[in-house]
Amino acid sequence: MGEQTNFLVMGGDQRYVEVVHQLSQKGIHIYLAGYDHLSFSKPNVQHIDSENADLSKMDAILLPLSGTNADGEVEAEYTDKQWSLTLDMLKNMPKHAVVYTGISNEYLDRITSEADRKLVKLIARDDVAILNSIPTAEATLGIAIQETDITIHGANVLILGFGRTGITLARLFAATGANVSVAVRKEADAARITEMGLLPVRMEDINEEVTNMDICINTVPHEVLNEDVISHMSPSSLIIDIASKPGGTDFKAANEKGIKAIHALGLPGKTAPKSAGEIISSVLLKLLLQK
């Protein structure tokens, strides 16, 4: 692992319990912030106190996949205390320290830049995003099954976006026998969708396409299912929006039309935390080995 052996895990959910398990087995010294409700038997895993946390010996810090909020607070499932990452904390870490997060925001970008510490966004990596798309797609299929009164086989399904998760979703729903359409902007994506035996739809034409859709699944992180698009949808349609906050759906417009719209966030952590944790830890180990 080189010199990077002191690893702080600040906040997180059940996925990170698996990350702690995997990394500690490799001999990395794990320090936990926000895990007061859990205990670990390995001697190289220990808790730190929120009031006098000393990060001067930490070679890296792992934040939740959601990163921080605008005030630096992190989501921590296993504590009643509030943990935050501050500029002073980062400045107290060694110069070589790395901050790992899922996604970032203006606050996190700013404090890592001011502290001159490296920031690695795991979700931006193809390996993490592609592997993470598997439990995401499976969980989305589960929601579709539970929230509709029809079979997925034969259902008309529109997927908005053809990125790393959109591709996996398209393949999975097609494999179940759904009639899958995919809304995209790029001609190359439309060609690939055609090659897959699916129906490409231009994003600007979705008003016409949504009229007969049973399920719309959005992966685009800006509003594409707006009030105008939703006005063309049937009240019996189901919207599953898996895009990060605030999503890509006008949920107020959907509610007013009587359309069930679900903002399904963090699906891998809710439905397959062990597998999702293994994905994160395997990538982290690769990164640590590069040091």
Q: Note the residue count of the chain.
A: 291
Span 65-80, mean pLDDT?
Answer: 94
Span 239-252, mean pLDDT?
Answer: 94
pLDDT greater than 70 at residue 291: no
CATH 3.40.50.720 fits 6-124, yes or no: yes
Quick: pLDDT tens for 12-52.
999 999 999 999 999 899 999 999 999 999 999 999 986 66
pLDDT greater than 60 at residue 180: yes
pLDDT greater than 70 at residue 96: yes
Q: Do domains 6-124 and 132-269 have the same CATH topology?
A: yes
Write down the pLDDT at residue 52: 63
Span 201-206, mean pLDDT?
Answer: 95
Write down the pLDDT at residue 181: 98
Quick: pLDDT tens for 117-132.
999 999 999 999 999 9
Write down the pLDDT at residue 288: 84
Write down the pLDDT at residue 159: 98
Write down the pLDDT at residue 289: 78
Write down the pLDDT at residue 50: 67
Task: Give the pLDDT band of residue 245 (cuts 50, 70, 90).
Answer: confident
Question: Which phi and psi (to 5°) does residue 56 adopt?
Answer: -65, -20
pLDDT greater than 80 at residue 94: yes
**CB neighbours of 41 closer than 8 A, spacing ≥ 6?**
none
Q: Which CATH class is domain 132-269?
A: alpha beta
Give strand pairing partners of 232. Answer: none
Where in the chain are the domains?
6-124, 132-269
pLDDT greater than 90 at residue 244: no
Q: Determine contact, residues 33/83, Cβ cutoff 8 Å.
A: yes
266 against 2, higher pLDDT = 266
d(CA 43, CA 254): 52
Quick: pLDDT tens for 77-92.
999 999 999 999 999 9
pLDDT cut 70: percent of the chain above it: 97
